[in-house]
Amino acid sequence: MFLLTKFTRMSFELIKPLLLRMFALILVIGLGILCMLMEACQPADLEKRLRKDHPRLIFTVESQQGIEKLAREDTLLQQSIETLVNLANQMISQPSIHYKLEGPRLLSKSRDCLSKVMTLSMAYRLSGELRYARRALVEMHAAAGFPDWNPSHFLDVAEMSAALAIGYDWLFEILTDEDRRIIRTALIEKGLKPGLQQYPDGFAKKINNWNFVCNGGMIMAALAIADEEPDLAQEVINRALKSLPVGLKSFAPDGAWFEGPSYWMYGTNYLAMLLSSLESALGTDYGLSASPGLRHSGHFYLSSLGPSGNFFNYSDCRLSPMGPTPALFWLAGAFDEPFFAEAERQVLNSFVYELDATKYGQGEDHYYYRFYPLEIAWYDPRSTDEASTIMMDTYFHGLTDVVYFRTSWEQDAFFVGFKAGQNGINHGHLDCGSFVLEALGERWAEDLGSDDYNLPGYFEYEQDGERWNYFRNSSISHNVLTINEENQRVDGSAKLIAFTSREQGCVNKGWRAYSPAGFRSWGRAFHHHPNTTNISS
């Protein structure tokens, strides 16, 4: 039986194994990051390594041939391709993007462009029907004609660069010389040149999802036009290779992502795209995939999904995934993890049966389909016998420590997600010690997730920032201890200090989370018995 009455009376023997484990992890992480930095910081040798023909990004001719062969005997893959073509048919009649900011962002237009260009381009490649390629070209010309891609919010530039890079590469054979000149010029003037100004002090030094999305857009754009613009491409890729380890260290030591699972989806999908592009175009990812924690990050993502299919949606996280997560297929292949592939195929199966392609373009959800073609590019048919026993109880370390417990992988299972972490990190809420709980097919303890990003001061992270006046971001809206109905401090933090899987128990302890309550630390303990759950503060 797991029992804790006071933190001050916890025996050293209880925490000694944990301390030894933490020391070993720190040593392994340090050595791993050092090795990764030594390899990743080496300059790319484009002249010798670059694949000369197109397509060279992600979905090469060889990849396409393998998928077409597999589709002849894999029913789900056949249905996935049919769904892609149905989406492409709907996109043909949709209007092309136009320049319009929403708040400070052009991001919705960039995502719409990526969704259409990647889907239509793959539909052309798999069907041979030129109408799909021609419609993708209309979209690329519309984007190329924008006055800029909104470099003040660089995610917008990154996703638009990814869209035109993939379209330029995948459709290269049918583009006229004038098409190529227009798209290549847009990639240079509106993408790569503004991107160079972000090194080393813009997105290049960020540890969050921006690192992967922005470096991903720059790398794909550079690789797409590297034979025509070798010096520019070389400079961009070299700088990206120095920047990426800054973001990759956030996966250490075991794959947790501090911004929550929906930002794991966003960032890791782009990370998989850039690593896959490096491999397909240059034959190497310069050791980046060996970054500590990355190979395990799929476990973090899958653990965060409760029996209901909803996330433990801490921070600015959506309640549920919006469509499939092709990064799981990429991780399955890169690290020989068939469990990731089996889990993703279950989601893909539901998606292709439930999707009504005729509703594409209605609401915002269609932006989340933009990664769907990668489900086909990285499709993995493997299964495993481990799915029923793997990852029942998991403890992830990092900027945000998270524990997940479940009694099974069935829909009526008991499930809890329990977090520690730092309040003031990117997309963070004032929620040290928060949890969600599901049982019997229902969620009984909730997290409300994010609010509207266009609200005034939403990203003001100072102690008196407007962000904390919005209910969803405050302590009161979370399942945490509150003192006199005051928020936790922005500089407050908590660590998980004890965990046991067999008995399904954990303890976290926090520092400086509350002020001016007059105490320096606080704690919360969770313990699940077969028929009861105890949470004490």
Q: Same domain, yes or no, for 52 and 151?
A: yes
Quick: pLDDT tens for 405-424.
Answer: 998 888 999 999 999 989 99
Identify whether 3 is part of a domain.
Answer: no
Domain end among 330, 349, 377 = 377
DSSP string, 446-481: -------TTSTTTT--STT-GGGGSGGGSSTTSSS-
Q: Same domain, yes or no, for 373 and 399?
A: no
Identify whether 27 is part of a domain.
Answer: no
Quick: pLDDT tens for 328-361.
Answer: 999 999 999 999 999 999 999 998 988 876 676 6
Domain end among 377, 405, 424 = 377
Identify whether 107 is part of a domain.
Answer: yes
Q: Would you say 204 and 196 are in contact if contact means Cβ atoms under 8 Å apart? A: no
Quick: pLDDT tens for 86-117.
Answer: 999 999 999 999 999 999 999 999 999 999 99
Q: Same domain, yes or no, for 505 and 418?
A: yes
Identify whether 390 is part of a domain.
Answer: no
Confidence of residue 57 (pLDDT cuts 50, 70, 90): very high
Q: Which residues of 405-444 are buried (b: 16+ CB within 10 A; e: fewer)?
A: bbbebeeebbbbbbbbbbbbbbbbbbbbbbbbbbbeeebe
Q: Same domain, yes or no, for 423 and 497?
A: yes
Cα→Cα distances 277→60, 371, 496, Å: 10, 15, 37
Cα→Cα distances 389→45, 184, 464, 466, Å: 44, 50, 46, 45
Domain end among 318, 342, 377 = 377
Cα→Cα distances 462→423, 437, 458, Å: 11, 30, 11
Q: Same domain, yes or no, for 180 and 256?
A: yes
Quick: pLDDT tens for 143-195.
Answer: 999 999 999 999 999 999 999 999 999 999 999 999 999 999 999 999 999 99
Q: Same domain, yes or no, for 344 and 419?
A: no
Q: Same domain, yes or no, for 461 and 344?
A: no
Region 447-460: mean pLDDT is 94
Range of the domain at 512: 395-536
Q: Same domain, yes or no, for 338 and 409?
A: no
Q: Same domain, yes or no, for 55 and 146?
A: yes
Instruction: Answer whether residue 469 shows pLDDT above 60.
Output: yes
Confidence of residue 364 (pLDDT cuts 50, 70, 90): low
Identify the pLDDT of residue 214: 98
Identify whether 389 is part of a domain.
Answer: no
Confidence of residue 7 (pLDDT cuts 50, 70, 90): very low
- Mapping DSSP onto H, E and C, the string for 515-534 reads CCCCCCEEEEEEEECCCCEE
CA atoms within 13 A on the CB side of 355: 27
Identify whether 4 is part of a domain.
Answer: no
User: Total domain count for the chain?
Assistant: 2
Q: Would you say 80 and 345 are in contact if contact means Cβ atoms under 8 Å apart? A: no
Cα dihedral 279, 282, 283, 289 sign: negative
Cα→Cα distances 176→35, 125, 172, 188, 311, Å: 44, 17, 8, 18, 46
Q: Same domain, yes or no, for 170 and 265?
A: yes
Identify whether 11 is part of a domain.
Answer: no
- Residue 455: CATH number of its domain: 2.70.98.70
Beta bridge partners of 495: 509
In whole angstroms, give the CA distance from residue 192 to residue 215: 10
**Token pair of 182 as six digits:** 């227009």
Identify the pLDDT of residue 31: 46
Strand bridging mode 533-536 / 521-528: antiparallel
Q: Same domain, yes or no, for 315 and 455?
A: no
Q: Would you say 371 and 115 are in contact if contact means Cβ atoms under 8 Å apart? A: no
- pTM (2 d.p.): 0.89
Cα dihedral 517, 519, 521, 527 sign: negative
Identify whether 385 is part of a domain.
Answer: no
Q: Same domain, yes or no, for 335 and 408?
A: no
Other Cβ atoms within 10 Å of 189 Cβ, number:
13
- Residue 78: CATH number of its domain: 1.50.10.100
